[in-house]
Structures are given as structure tokens and as C-alpha cells.
Structure 1
């Protein structure tokens, strides 16, 4: 028998902190003459659930102040337990009792009373103990039909397995009748909603915001009407410190295996642009960004000072050349300000915004003059308006109101022979800096090999593979060039505005700079295709229109291939780790698109804010400023959407991708197979999972018909960083 599955998504993220409930008590009081509190009141910072080091002591006396023996003293507390409910005074008139505190942090009290006298009260302020476990669900859940829902809250347990606070309650939609037991000690955070609609539902936002040594959760009891349930557990983790969370899962043979849904029979056969399967080099891009940051950041104050004083080259305007003019540029991509690699070029086209230059040493049988003119026109009509509207206008340090497009074999030379990647072009921020010789400001150094111009270096056709035996057809280079321009122009705008407009002391973090550059490619797709975001675009729609297909092949497919690389290993990759690796770039592009859709309002405003942060703001802090302060929660929801989008119906919009039907498209770029695989939960042995900061795991299991399924999740090792989230998604 095949049992439907559930999927468990585990991840890490800085999310919600559990709060501390406060206890209170009251009680009666009566006695002989006087009752006086002797000791045991206001003991220093006792831990919840512990026995106080000093007993509670009172003294009963007569009207003359003499202690009375044999008087019965009644003890009471609403918090914890007492060693006796009553005791008898000794010869000195004293009586004692020991008090083990309750499990609620905050004020706790106990009372001593004697018949006929006013009672006395002992007060302490209990503090929370070290957290040892987190219990997600203690009781049972009955999923009785379509549209049922439940909520659960986290209960944090200290080493003695007492609750700090928390409550569970379950409610059938449309009815106030509870379906499971309740704890009555209060709850405020960590609520989870599961909605079982049609084929699926979701339990999300199980937020634990405390540092823990162990985190434990047990699934609820499930009584399906059908043949069983399929479940996804999705652990997610984030602390923005690059930490690694290791967890162990055991179900005690209460669950069963569920078949992976990774292979999806395609309803169409075409695979997006097979010629584009050659990927761009992540190593080159990462090295270039790191080199720019390391070598050029120290030069920012000098460059800014030179511009402010109008010194050297900043005081001059560069005339727009004429077609046929010869120019020289340093093309060294491996050094910012030394060892120039000079190449001669001829101006082959000039448009309103672009000066197109071709290296005189380019391989034969390459682009024609008409081709170069078309690239200039594409820059004018597509790339420049898209990027400048969304990220801001570029600087014009050479005052010629143009950007140089240098098509040079120097770019081809960056790709070694016989490899599966290529370098399509680049922008080098060193060209925004004045040279040492011409800065004109005493004590200010520049970048001696800078070309001092807004410019790009671009791949050229090489049909015969003259350069490093790497053949590059005209059609291939045409198909990647305009997207490369859109991508690199964002880098140019970002760097130039950080340097001369926004007053930033540093360049943007690599991961976010790359994410915005990939978003520039997507924005070029929308403008080129005539489509807009938030249309849940499927590959069937793309394939149905030749013009949309071309736009997707040129500007969209590469983003989804990078996203595919993330989906194949989501537990070890994150959208906000500061590197330029392909999985990170795919993840941050997808998350930024998700965030723009979820945020609503003006997309252009959001992109502009991200590209133009105030001084001292960059990377994660830039996103929390411009997009959402709850970055951890949004990344968590995005990880759920990566599995559930257009697969599990009836989910809230925050668990979907509004602009793309990602399964239909990833399936195509992944040669007919869904890229995000889920791991089975071993029903008899321990399943071990490791999750990086900002990462998620996807674990599937089933529950047999009319049986109880459950399990524990234990965090292994030392203190777990804040930000563990468990989401439970019913998939069948």
C-alpha cells in the first residue's frame, strides 16, 4: 500500500523569542496572637523548578511576644510545591517548610497562616534555568476532514523537564470544540497553523528564539479519513553568524516511508536553450569582486576627495570619439592597479548611451558592424532604462555621457581550455578611480592602471576556437551579451553610486551585489517580454509565445539554473552567505524576487533602496532596512515556498512564489526532473541532519491509516544558536 506523505522542513533563522509567564498566588490566613516572618523571604535569584536553599520560617507568639509551641501553621503556594501543607511550631514558636519553586519565571509566592491571625507572605523572583528541550507538540491532533486546522505553541523545557511557559490548543475550523488536551500555564509565542485543504496543508512558523542545548519535538497523533498521510518536516535555522546546527530525528517506528516526488513527468519536451547550458564562471566573478573590495576599498577616501575638489581627470571632459577612432584600454582582470594589459580597439558604433569598441586583435569571422550597432541600441533602449530606473543613474566621471562597451578577446582568454564554463564579460570598479599621476591632490593615491571611464569588457565570437581552443559561435555570444550588460551595469551603478553619490565607505557585500545584478537580468526579461511580475508564470506560458521564449532564454533561464544549484543542496547553502558561489547567487536572486512580490508596493523603490544604502549599511543590514526587519522569518517562509509552490494547494501567499511557477520551470532547466529532493525519515533508526545558517532541510515521512505517528528532534552538541524553526507540511 502506498501511503501519502508529509514533509518536514527544518531550518534555522533568528525568529521569535519565547516569553516568560508570571505566577501569582493568594490564600487565606488565621492564628493565636502574632505571626512573624523569620527567614526565607526574597532569596537571591533562585532557578525555576528548584528547591530554595533556605527553608521558609515563621514564629508564632502570644500577646507578650513569647513564642508558642504546638500551634498549627498552614502553608500554601500557587507556584511549585511545599514539603508539607501544615506544620507545628516548636518550643520557640517557630515552624518551617521547604519550598520547591514552580516552573514559571518571575514572581512566585508562598503563604503561612494561623487561624485567627493575618497570614504572612514569602516572595521570590525565579529565573529561568538552562534550556534543555523544546517540545513542539505533546498531545494528539485529529485531522478530521478538509478545511480542518490546528495551532500549536512551543513549550521550552529546562534541564529538569519543567515547562517555562506555553500552551497547546487545537480547534476545528468553524467550531469552538477543542480536539486535544490543553495546558493552562499560558502561551504567547511560537504559534503554528496547519490547514488541511484538499490535498494538503501546512504547519509553519514554529518559532524558537532561545539558545538551547537540546531541542525536542514530537509530532501529533493523526487520524486521517483516507488511507494515510504524507508529511514534510522542514527544519530551518538562522542566526546570521554562519553557525551550523546538527539535529537527530527518531520516530520509533511510528512512521512509514513516502516516495519522493522529485521526478515529474513533463507535459512538454523542449528544454530551454541547450546552447546556454554552458555556465558562467563563478570563480572568476567571485575573485573579481573580492579583488575589488580588497584592493580598492582603501582608495575610496582619496577618490572621493579628488572628485569633491574637482582635481585631475575629474576637472576634464572626454570628448565622444568618432567611429573609426583608435583607443587603448587596460584589460587586466587579475590586478586592480598594477600590471596593465593594454589592448588596442577601434570605435565601431556610437549610440545615445553607448560607445562600442572592438579589439583590433579579435578572432576573425566575428560580429559585423550591424551587430555592434544592435548591441548599442539594446543598451540604449533596454539595459540603460531598466537598470537606471530601478537602481539609479550611473556616474559620468569622464563627462562624456556614454558607457563604453569594449568587445575584446581578453575576455575569451579568461576561460581555460576544455572547461564547462565561460566568462561572458565583466565590469571592474578600478575603472571608476582616478589614476595616481592625474589625481592632483597631495597625499592622495589613485589607481595607476584605471581606464577612468564607465565601461564593460565583453566576450567576442570565436567560431574556430583560436583562443584557448574554446569555440564561441556568433549566436551563442549574441544570446548572452545583453543579459551580461544588464548584469554588469547593475554592478557599475552600484559601485559608482557607493563611491561618489551615497558616501559609503565600502562596496556592497558580494552576495547582495550579485543578487541585485541577477535581478537586473530578470527585470530585463520582463521589459523584453512585455510581461510583469506576480503572474505565476509557468513554462507552458513561456513556450507558447516565441517572443517570450526568446526573452526567457536570453534573460531568465540562467537565473533558474543558478536557483537549481541551490535547490540541489539547500541544507548547506543560504541566500545571504557572503560569497559569490552559484548556489548563493541563485538563492539570493530567488529570495529577492520572493521578497519584492511579498512586500508589494513599488518594486523600483525597493531595488533603489537596496542599491543606495546610507553610510555604514550593507549586506544583511541593508536587506533588513529596505525589505523587512524580519529577514529570518521571510527566508524561512521562502524555504517553504520552494517546496510547496504550485504543488500543495490552498496555502497562504507567503508560502508561494507569486511571479513564477517554479516547479514547471526548474523541471525544464533541470532536464525534466524537479531539483529539490527530500530525504526520508528512517522509521527505525536515527536520522541525522546538518543545517547551515539560513539553510533548510526537507524530510518526508508517512503515517499509516488510523495510527499514531510521532518523533523527536534533538539538537546535538553545545548550545544551539537562536533561530530554529520547524514547519510541518501535509503533502497528501
Structure 2
């Protein structure tokens, strides 16, 4: 089987090996091997080893209200002693509100606190407290609905023949649209000669005319007009019916209080359709409700979301459906591992410690380019093998607490200087092997990343990148951890030690373009984690491509685009580095980004299987975490979860592919060479409102592309992902020790006739709603939000799949 390479929920010693034509997800948790993560301080001072909840968990509060008890955590070291000064980040889940402050510092007792103001969605809210490199604490709260504010009845209107029936359903809601359960809804008709209604809302047409059926509770009411004809009534009434061609995407116009569409299946074809919904709002802590109802629809005509013609997924492995409860998948897909928490913390360290130094750094660079040069911390312009450099390897603190190590120059390339920590474990690389690493960087990674993202700066003056192999990276992975930390980039090394005016700047900077990498440790000297040379070589090649993007991005924002904000948002910066990993896979396998790779392309023989496992499988693992719960995950959630990383990688791949073969690199470079960050960056590069449309079209591609050969052939290019055939590849995934997935694991809803659904969408989250329409029949589809039009940030589309 084609197995995922050293994914982070398993020890390195427990890695799977290739046994056949399928590949393996290493566990249901799917925690990911970091290419740039984790950081416990390698410098002096106490190091956080654990965090525990002290107060505030499992409270109950009303929607939109602050919890009465502040959340509190205690931070301790490896001996269980409390430590002060540790930063705690408080990250809310989708629709779960806000934390104030969003980050705080442990006091002299080791305690950090925040006040949690709940979001506008009832149910269970989640908030995660995180400290560098340790397992985070998850707080939950029960959010109760507010007082009754409105009643919404569905369907909005009904069209019947005499003797036909329809069920009216009333929903009592609070001011935010949360359903108030346990309240009896009363139904009545204002026109009993035209229509009758039972106590459960079942309406029967009696005579021709327009009846008014009222749903009422707690002093709130809503009326449903029911138009009755003698015969020939359409469920769509005056809404014009459309017969969608296979692969046709339809975006119905908004009406006065809802979005309505009428679809008719062709004669002799039971049509299969999907409705995609995506929120383009920028807030992840607040959700917007969307009400859906269909009249005349059936369940999906195809039970399992497989590639029908996929010959690679054994029939015995096919699952009946993945349209399961979305809530049950929330915790696993949004989980933030210690590795991800540490990476997020490093980026926050850069923002906090380095942002105040940006102007001094730019002045320093300007003075250097005009001939006023300062001494460098690293003098390597004429570095030779055997030279020794002194370098700070602290992975946690930016500008103080330097942990300086001696590094021996082991190889010098055209674009690289390879340095080996003199304290590295025995059994590591030889100088000949380091020279091969330098050659690989010079001829493969450097041209690949610079073509895609732009050239790095040259603050060191010698035009080469330092790759430091150091046991300090090995030390970041605890003993018996279920993950391996491969390396990291730290923007502090781009800042001057002393500013132009002679005042202190970032005293611990190495003043060089560089990043830090895992060293071989075949005997497990560091934390008893054995790392063979072959394992480290495979891991570090992806890490190098990943970290080099971070270096390019940070250096160009600091010194090339001098009007830019210096720190890209973590989710977008990581997404671009995951694209760099993907580009490495394309280069190594000699494929292009537009070949719609199938399972046989990536696992047709042993070589392909190994290449996919080593260089591509991690992106598929991350994206899986998104696919199983798209309603609670987003490409731009501020949490750096696996699902967020998978979603932004996939969205960037889609957006790049949409530019055409000649436009992919310029699209990526535009994101790096930008003065804005995050969503604003994407909006600028994609010309404002196009970003929202791209999100909608990307969502359509996830449900429609490769549904079948005929469907893909009919789809417009804007709804196609040209790089990967996910419906072919994902059925070949198997969980470690289990059977193949057998399906493309996108979580969906089924929209049955007369059964309204309420979907809550935070910024960037999506919902995929499937339904069928019998041959020659029609179905009315209506979208609204608490009896009014959906918010303007909602993007939606209907597509015929079969």
C-alpha cells in the first residue's frame, strides 16, 4: 500500500511501508508532520512543558454574552512547577465568539486568563488555549438561545392542486436565528373553505384560491400563502423552470425575501444535483444562518460519492455514504496539535517582537545599499569547508536569550552554505553527502521556489542561503512524540543586531538568510528519537522547499516591498509553503500542474507510490481534515489547524490553476509581492469581489469536478481543478490497519422534499447539499435567512451532476 510518510500522529519508528497499490492515512486523528514547526525554547530559562485548565470550563451562557467566570490556565515546566511569562493564545472555534484578550501572559503564579464572549450560535462552543510546543487545552461552553424574537414558517409559499397536501413547519427563533426548542407551534388557516390544516401543520387543499396558513408561538407568527388550482399546479408556481444541462452551473437571482430556483429534470433521467454554499465573511467567530427548503426533491440518486468509473477502488471497500452528522467530525478536523500551536506562536512572536523594529531594519538596509556597511554577525562571504560560524539557534525567542552554537561549514554551493552544528550526534552526513544536499538546493529547490515566489534578499552580502543542520531542531520533538519536527525559519535572522542609529535592534539575529533543519541521529541521542540519514534526507527536502518560501516571503516583505506589512497572515503564508511542497512533487515526478493526476498516476508502481508518499501525501492528509467537516473549517480560519492548512493549499492550487499554465507563477508571486496580507491580499490579487466568486467556484469544483467523465467534460473551466483527480485518488486511501476509504470523503447534506434545513456558516466555511429530481419532474429550491434574504456575503450555486 502507498503509505503516508511519517505523519505526526505516529512515532517515527512506527512508520508504515509500501505493500501494494493503495496508500495509508496513518490514523483517524491525521495529525501532520510539521515542516516548520514546534518550539520549545532552546535558550536559558524555564520552558513550558504543560498547560492545564484552572477555571472557566464547561460554563453555560446566553448567545452573544460574556461568560461570568473568566477562563484561566496554569502553565508549568517539566517538573510541574509553575512558570511566569509564558504567552497563552486563546483561539475560538467557528461561530464561537471572541476572547479578550486574544493572547495573555502567565503571571507570577503561572496563571493566564481571558474573558470569553460567546458567539451568536447556540449549542456547544469551543475555545483553545495554547502555549508554545505543548498540548493545548480545549474549553467548551453550552450556549443557550435568547428570548423569542421571530417565527419563521416554511415553505415560504406553496402551490397545490385540489386535494394535494404540504406540511408547513414553524420555527421559533431568537434574535440571532437560533431555534428555540420545546415550544409548541400552533397552526391555523385564515381561509378554512380553501385549505385545512392539522395541529402538526399538514395542509390540505380544498378549493381553488389562495389560502393563508398561520404558524404561531410565544406571540410571534408567520403566514404561508397557499395557492390552489383545480389541476396542473407546479410546485414552483410562477418561478420559471430551468432544465440544466449536464455540468451546467446556475446561480439563481435574489428575490425580495429569498433566493428561489425551479429545476426540472430531463425526461427519462433522474437528475442528480448539488447546491453549494460558502460564506465569504471575514469573521470566523460569528456564524450566519441559512435556511434551505426544497419541494419536489428526493435524496441523492447516487448513494456514495465515489468516482463511478474508478477502476482502482475495490468494490468491497466502497462505503455506502459519507453524508453523516457533521457535528461528530468537528473535534477531530479542527484539532490543533502542539506542532501547529507552536508554529502559530512563533509567528505571533515575530509580530510582537519584530514589528516595532521594521522601520529601523529598513533604514539599516538602505544605509547598507548606499555604502554605509555594518559588521555582520556571520562573515561567510568567502566561506570554505571547515570554517566555523557562530549562530543563534533559539527557536522560541526572537531578539534575546541567544543560544549560540558553533557550526562547521560542510559544503558551499552556488546558492547555499551548508552548516553542521558541531554538537550534532554521531552518524550524520559526510561532507560528500552535504555537498549533494547543496547541489540539490542549488539546482532544484532554489530555482523552483524563486520562479514561483520571487528571489530572496541578500542582507548577508554573499548571496547564499545558510542551511543549518542542528540538534537544536531535534530537541524540539519530545521523546515518544507522535510527530517529528523537521525544521523552522525565524524572521528574526533578517533583522539587524544594531540599527542605523547605533541603538540595539534584534541583538540575537544571525543577520543572514537561513533556516534550521533536523540532523540525522541514528542512535537516538537527542530525546531517544532515532533519525536515520535516509529518513532525514526524505523529510528535509520537503522541509527545505517549505521553509525557503517562508524566507522569501518574509525577506521581500521586509526589504523589497518596503510599503508592505512585514508579516503575512499565518494561514496564507503556510498555504504558500504547502504549495511549494506540491511544486517539489511535480518537479521530482516530472509532471505538470495540469494533468488531473489519478490514482494510477500517483500509485501505479512502486516508484510512484514512494514519490507520492514522500512528497505529496501530507497535503492530501491536511485536505482530508477539511473535506470531512467543511461547515466548521475555513481556508482562512485564524487557528492554523490541519483543516485550515489543507483548505488554503487546495484553494491556492485551484486559484493558480485558473490563471492558465502561463499565469500560475505570476499569481503566486503576486501574493508574496504584496503590500497587504491575508484576505485583503487575496482580494487585491483577485481583483476585489472576484475573491468571493473564486470561493464559490472553488466550492463547486470540490463537489462537481470529476464526478464523472461526462460531467467534467461539460463543466466550464472555472469549476475544474486541473491538477488532481481527488475522486480517483481518495478512494485508494486507507486508514492504518483499516480498509480503503472507498469514497471521496466530502461531507454533504441531503435535501429531501419538505424537510427544511438550517446551515450555520462562519467566514470561509462551506456546505454541500445534494438532492435528486425524478425524470420529467420539478423541484423548488429556496434559500433565505430568518425569513429574509441571505447575507450578501453568502455565495451559492446549483450544479447538475448527473
Which TM-score applies when normalising by structure 1? 0.67
- Within a 5 Å distance, the mapping from 1:627-706 to structure 2 comes to 627-629=686-688, 630-648=690-708, 649=711, 650-669=714-733, 671=735, 672-673=740-741, 674-681=744-751, 685-704=755-774
Where does residue 290 of structure 2 map in the other structure? Answer: 247
Which whole-Å CA distance do the structure 1 matches of 2:792 and 2:602 have between them? Answer: 42
Q: CA deviation at 1:665?
A: 2.7
Which whole-Å CA distance do the structure 1 matches of 2:514 and 2:294 have between them? Answer: 59
Structure 2 unaligned residues grouped into runs of 5+ = 1-151, 161-220, 225-234, 318-336
Q: CA deviation at 1:317?
A: 5.9
Which whole-Å CA distance do the structure 1 matches of 2:362 and 2:348 have between them? Answer: 21
Structure 1 unaligned residues grouped into runs of 5+ = 1-131, 141-158, 163-178, 185-191, 272-278
- Go from structure 1 to structure 2 and tell me whether the alpha carbon gap of 1:679 and 1:364 turns closer, same or farther (over 3 Å shift): farther
Q: Deviations over 1:228-257 (max 9, x none)?
A: 333322222212343412234344685346
Q: Deviations over 1:518-572 (max 9, x none)?
A: 2222222233322222222223123346665554433322222222222122112
Q: Deviations over 1:397-431 (max 9, x none)?
A: 11122211111121122123333322111110000
Where does residue 602 of structure 1 map in the other structure? Answer: 663
- Within a 5 Å distance, the mapping from 1:472-511 to structure 2 comes to 472-503=531-562, 504-511=564-571
Where does residue 672 of structure 2 map in the other structure? Answer: 611
Secondary structure of the 2:616 match is helix
Checking the alignment, whether the CA contact within 8 Å between 1:135 and 1:217 is kept in structure 2 is no
- Go from structure 1 to structure 2 and tell me whether the alpha carbon gap of 1:589 and 1:256 turns closer, same or farther (over 3 Å shift): closer
- Go from structure 1 to structure 2 and tell me whether the alpha carbon gap of 1:194 and 1:302 turns closer, same or farther (over 3 Å shift): farther
Which whole-Å CA distance do the structure 1 matches of 2:644 and 2:570 have between them? Answer: 10
Q: CA deviation at 1:653?
A: 1.3
- Within a 5 Å distance, the mapping from 1:79-90 to structure 2 comes to none
Which whole-Å CA distance do the structure 2 matches of 1:372 and 1:552 have between them? Answer: 25
Checking the alignment, whether the CA contact within 8 Å between 1:137 and 1:220 is kept in structure 2 is no
Where does residue 205 of structure 1 map in the other structure? Answer: 251
Alignment partner for residue 307 of structure 1, among 355, 358, 365? 365
Alignment partner for residue 466 of structure 1, among 515, 525, 530? 525
Verify: 1:564 aligned to 2:624, yes or no: yes
Alignment partner for residue 348 of structure 2, among 287, 290, 303? 290
Secondary structure of the 1:677 match is coil
Which structure has the greater CA radius of gyration?
1
- Go from structure 1 to structure 2 and tell me whether the alpha carbon gap of 1:292 and 1:207 turns closer, same or farther (over 3 Å shift): farther
- Within a 5 Å distance, the mapping from 1:535-614 to structure 2 comes to 535-544=595-604, 549-600=609-660, 601-614=662-675
- Go from structure 1 to structure 2 and tell me whether the alpha carbon gap of 1:134 and 1:334 turns closer, same or farther (over 3 Å shift): farther
Q: CA deviation at 1:675?
A: 2.1
Alignment: residue pair count: 544
Checking the alignment, whether the CA contact within 8 Å between 1:133 and 1:216 is kept in structure 2 is no
Which whole-Å CA distance do the structure 1 matches of 2:410 and 2:487 have between them? Answer: 18
Checking the alignment, whether the CA contact within 8 Å between 2:378 and 2:512 is kept in structure 1 is no
- Within a 5 Å distance, the mapping from 1:158-237 to structure 2 comes to 195-197=244-246, 201-206=247-252, 216-217=258-259, 220=262, 222=264, 224-226=266-268, 228-237=270-279
Q: Deviations over 1:133-191 (max 9, x none)?
A: 99999999xxxxxxxxxxxxxxxxxx9999xxxxxxxxxxxxxxxx998679xxxxxxx
Checking the alignment, whether the CA contact within 8 Å between 2:784 and 2:790 is kept in structure 1 is no
- Go from structure 1 to structure 2 and tell me whether the alpha carbon gap of 1:683 and 1:505 turns closer, same or farther (over 3 Å shift): closer
Checking the alignment, whether the CA contact within 8 Å between 2:493 and 2:513 is kept in structure 1 is yes
Where does residue 199 of structure 2 map in the other structure? Answer: none
Q: CA deviation at 1:386?
A: 1.1
Q: CA deviation at 1:704?
A: 4.6
Q: CA deviation at 1:492?
A: 0.5
Verify: 1:261 aligned to 2:304, yes or no: yes
Which whole-Å CA distance do the structure 1 matches of 2:468 and 2:431 have between them? Answer: 14
Which whole-Å CA distance do the structure 1 matches of 2:155 and 2:658 have between them? Answer: 31
Q: CA deviation at 1:597?
A: 1.7
Checking the alignment, whether the CA contact within 8 Å between 1:299 and 1:445 is kept in structure 2 is no
- Go from structure 1 to structure 2 and tell me whether the alpha carbon gap of 1:693 and 1:356 turns closer, same or farther (over 3 Å shift): same
Which whole-Å CA distance do the structure 2 matches of 1:358 and 1:316 have between them? Answer: 15
Checking the alignment, whether the CA contact within 8 Å between 1:136 and 1:217 is kept in structure 2 is no
Secondary structure of the 1:466 match is coil
Q: Deviations over 1:257-301 (max 9, x none)?
A: 656424669744899xxxxxxx99322322222221222111111
Which whole-Å CA distance do the structure 1 matches of 2:155 and 2:339 have between them? Answer: 45
Which whole-Å CA distance do the structure 2 matches of 1:474 and 1:693 have between them? Answer: 43
Which whole-Å CA distance do the structure 2 matches of 1:194 and 1:496 have between them? Answer: 53
Which TM-score applies when normalising by structure 2? 0.61
Checking the alignment, whether the CA contact within 8 Å between 1:280 and 1:423 is kept in structure 2 is no
Which whole-Å CA distance do the structure 2 matches of 1:395 and 1:645 have between them? Answer: 40
Which whole-Å CA distance do the structure 2 matches of 1:725 and 1:441 have between them? Answer: 52
Where does residue 357 of structure 1 map in the other structure? Answer: 419
Which whole-Å CA distance do the structure 1 matches of 2:441 and 2:679 have between them? Answer: 31
Q: Which moved more, 1:626-635 or 1:702-711?
A: 702-711
